C-alpha cells in the first residue's frame, strides 16, 4: 500500500496574503513587560464605557417577553430599520434629497463594512488611493484581498487634492487608471494623524474622483469613525454632502468609539448600486449583525442617551488630549527636531522625529521606549505599500486608555528614550 505524507496545512492564497497586523507582534512582545504605559492601543477609555445606560435600556428592552424573544431572534441582512432611521437622523444627517433608508446597511463594526465594500469593489491588483499615513487595519484588509494601497501625499489638512491629481495622472500614464477603484479618507480626526480635512478639500476630492472616473467609477470611501469625538471647533459636513448624485461616496460609521466597541455596531451609507452587492456578501457571511445589539443602539438613540453620552466622552477625552499636548510641550519640545500635530478631537497625536531616528522595530528607539516603560505605534505601519516612500521617523501616540497621570508619565518616558537614542 502506498503511504502519503499529508501536509498538516496547505494555506489558501487568501491565507498567505493575510499577514496579520505587525503591531500585534510588537505589542505582545512589549506587554510581557508589566507596568508598561501603553500609548499604543487605540482602545477607548474603559472608565467612561456606558455601563449604566446599557443596563437600564437592556432591562427595559427585555421587560416584555414577546418583544424580547423577537430581539433574541436573527434579524434582517441590511439591519434593523429603526436603527437605520436613527442613524440617518442623528449620526450622518444628509441632504434630504439623497436620504433613503435603503442606502443604510448595519454591520458588526465599521471594519466589517470596510471589508464588505472592499470585497465588492476590488479584484487582486486593483488600487485604492490612501493618505500617507492612513488607518493600518484597512491597509491589511486591502493586502488580504491582493489589492494595492497607493499613497498620496498629505499635509496638515490631510490628502492634498493636487497630489491626488498628480498620482492619478501618473497611474493613467502607466496604463493603470482602470485599476483605481477607490480613494480612502479618514476625514475626521484621522487615525493615525489626528487631522480633520477642511470641507473645501473633501469637496475637491469628490470632484476629482468623479472627473477621473472614466471606464470604471472611482468611489470615495469616507471612514468617519471619529466624527463624534470633537473637542474643539465646529463639526464639518460629511463628504457625502458633496456627492450630488449619490453615486460616488461611501460613508463608514461606527458606535465603537462614541459608545462601546463591545457592542460592535457600525454602518455604511452606500450608493444604491452597491447596496445589493454588499448585502449579498453579508448574506453569505452572517445574514445580519447581532440583532439584540441593534435594538439596544436604536433605543439608546431614540431616548437621546447617545448624544448625552458623547458629551461626557468629549469632556473626558478633551482633558486627556490637553494633558498629552502639555506633556509634549514640557518634555518633547526641548528635543531638537521632535514635532507633533495638535488635533481637535479623536484619540491620537502624531509625532515626527528627526529623519535619522527609526521608530520601528529595526531601530533603537522602540526597545529603549519599552525599557523606559512606554509603548507607541511605529508610524511606518501606517503607510500604503506603493507610491510615496514610507516615513520611518514617525509614531502614533494614543491618549484614550491611560489616565491623565499615566499619559504624562508615558510622554516623560518617551522623552528619556529619545534622548538616549539620539
Ligand atoms: C479609522 C478607523 N476606522 C474604523 C475602525 C473600526 O472600528 P469598528 O470596527 O470597531 O467599528 C477604527 C478602529 O480603530 C478606526 O480607527
Residue to probe by mutation, ligand 1, list 140, 256, 268, most atoms within 8 Å of CB: 256
Q: What is the pLDDT of residue 95?
A: 67
Three-class SS state of 386:
strand
Q: Which atom of ligand 1 has the smallest separation from the CA of 135? A: 1
- Non-local (6+) Cβ contacts of 390 within 8 A are 380, 383
293 touches 286 (CB < 8 A)? no
Pocket of ligand 1, beta carbon within 6 A: 42, 109-111, 135, 186, 191, 223, 225, 254, 256, 261, 264, 266
Element (H, E) at 209: helix 199-211
Q: How far is the CA of 287 from the centre of ligand 1 (A)?
A: 21
- Grid coordinates belonging to 371: 525599557
pTM: 0.95
Q: How far is the CA of 25 from the centre of ligand 1 (A)?
A: 19
Q: Where in the chain is the domain with CATH 3.90.1150.10?
A: 13-49+308-421
Architecture in CATH for domain 73-306: 3-Layer(aba) Sandwich (3.40)
H runs (alpha helix) in 47-189: 51-61, 65-71, 81-86, 110-121, 136-144, 161-173
Q: What is the pLDDT of residue 130?
A: 98
126 touches 148 (CB < 8 A)? yes
Q: Where in the chain is the domain with CATH 3.40.640.10?
A: 73-306
Q: What is the pLDDT of residue 237?
A: 92
Residue to probe by mutation, ligand 1, list 185, 250, 257, most atoms within 8 Å of CB: 257
Q: What is the pLDDT of residue 24?
A: 74
Q: Which residue has the cell 468629549?
A: 314
The closest residue, in CA terms, to atom 8 on ligand 1 is 109
Positive/negative CA dihedral, 209, 115, 138, 198: positive
- Non-local (6+) Cβ contacts of 392 within 8 A are 358, 359, 360, 363, 378, 379, 380
Q: What is the pLDDT of residue 265?
A: 98
The closest residue, in CA terms, to atom 12 on ligand 1 is 225
Q: What is the pLDDT of residue 422?
A: 77
pLDDT tens digits, 84-121: 999 999 988 776 666 789 999 999 999 999 999 999 99
Q: What angle do CA 99, 105, 109 make, to 5 degrees?
A: 125
Give me the DSSP letters along 106-120: EESSHHHHHHHHHHH
DSSP structural state of residue 395: E
Q: What is the pLDDT of residue 1?
A: 65
| Series of mean pLDDT values for 10-residue runs along the chain (422 residues) | 77 82 70 84 90 98 96 97 94 74 96 98 97 96 96 97 98 97 98 97 98 94 97 94 95 98 97 97 96 98 97 96 98 96 98 95 92 95 93 96 96 96 80
Range 13-49+308-421 classified under CATH 3.90.1150.10 = yes
Element (H, E) at 131: strand 127-131
Amino acid at each position: 500500500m502506498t503511504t502519503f505524507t499529508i501536509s498538516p496545512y496547505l494555506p489558501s492564497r487568501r491565507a498567505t496574503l493575510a499577514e496579520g497586523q505587525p503591531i500585534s507582534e510588537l505589542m505582545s512582545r512589549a506587554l510581557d513587560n508589566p507596568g508598561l504605559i501603553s500609548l499604543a492601543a487605540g482602545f477607548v477609555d474603559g472608565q467612561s464605557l456606558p455601563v449604566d445606560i446599557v443596563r437600564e435600556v437592556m432591562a427595559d428592552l427585555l421587560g416584555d417577553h414577546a418583544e424580547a424573544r423577537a430581539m433574541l431572534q436573527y434579524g434582517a441582512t441590511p439591519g434593523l430599520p429603526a436603527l437605520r432611521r436613527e442613524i440617518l437622523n442623528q449620526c450622518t444627517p444628509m441632504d434630504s434629497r439623497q436620504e433613503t433608508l435603503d442606502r443604510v446597511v448595519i454591520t458588526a463594526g465599521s471594519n466589517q463594512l470596510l471589508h464588505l465594500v472592499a470585497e465588492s469593489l476590488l479584484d487582486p491588483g486593483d488600487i485604492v488611493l490612501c493618505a500617507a499615513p492612513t488607518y493600518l487595519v484597512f491597509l491589511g484588509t486591502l493586502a488580504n484581498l491582493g489589492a494595492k494601497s497607493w499613497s498620496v501625499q498629505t499635509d496638515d489638512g490631510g490628502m492634498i487634492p493636487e497630489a491626488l491629481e498628480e498620482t492619478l495622472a501618473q497611474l493613467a500614464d502607466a496604463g493603470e487608471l482602470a485599476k483605481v477603484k477607490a480613494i480612502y479618507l479618514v476625514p475626521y480626526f484621522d487615525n493615525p494623524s489626528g487631522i480633520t480635512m477642511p470641507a473645501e478639500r473633501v469637496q475637491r476630492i469628490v470632484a476629482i474622483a468623479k472627473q477621473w472616473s472614466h471606464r470604471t467609477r472611482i468611489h470615495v470611501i469616507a471612514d468617519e469613525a471619529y466624527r463624534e469625538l470633537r473637542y474643539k471647533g465646529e463639526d464639518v459636513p460629511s463628504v457625502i454632502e458633496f456627492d450630488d448624485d449619490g453615486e460616488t461616496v461611501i460613508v463608514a460609521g461606527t458606535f465603537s468609539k462614541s459608545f462601546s466597541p463591545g457592542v460592535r455596531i457600525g454602518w455604511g451609507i452606500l450608493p444604491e448600486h452597491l447596496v445589493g452587492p454588499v448585502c449579498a456578501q453579508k448574506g453569505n457571511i452572517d445574514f445580519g449583525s447581532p440583532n439584540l445589539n441593534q435594538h439596544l443602539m436604536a433605543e439608546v438613540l431614540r431616548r437621546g442617551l447617545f448624544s448625552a453620552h458623547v458629551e461626557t466622552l468629549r469632556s473626558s477625552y478633551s482633558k486627556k488630549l490637553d494633558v498629552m499636548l502639555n506633556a509634549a510641550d514640557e518634555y518633547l519640545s526641548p528635543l531638537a527636531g521632535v514635532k507633533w500635530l495638535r488635533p481637535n478631537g479623536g484619540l491620537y497625536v502624531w509625532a515626527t522625529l528627526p529623519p535619522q531616528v527609526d521608530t520601528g522595530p529595526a531601530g533603537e528607539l522602540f526597545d529603549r521606549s519599552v525599557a523606559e516603560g512606554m509603548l507607541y505605534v511605529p508610524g511606518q505601519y501606517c503607510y500604503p505599500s506603493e507610491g510615496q516612500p514610507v516615513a520611518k521617523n514617525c509614531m502614533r501616540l494614543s491618549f484614550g486608555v491611560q489616565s491623565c497621570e499615566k499619559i504624562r508619565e508615558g510622554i516623560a518616558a518617551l522623552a528619556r528614550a529619545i534622548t538616549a537614542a539620539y
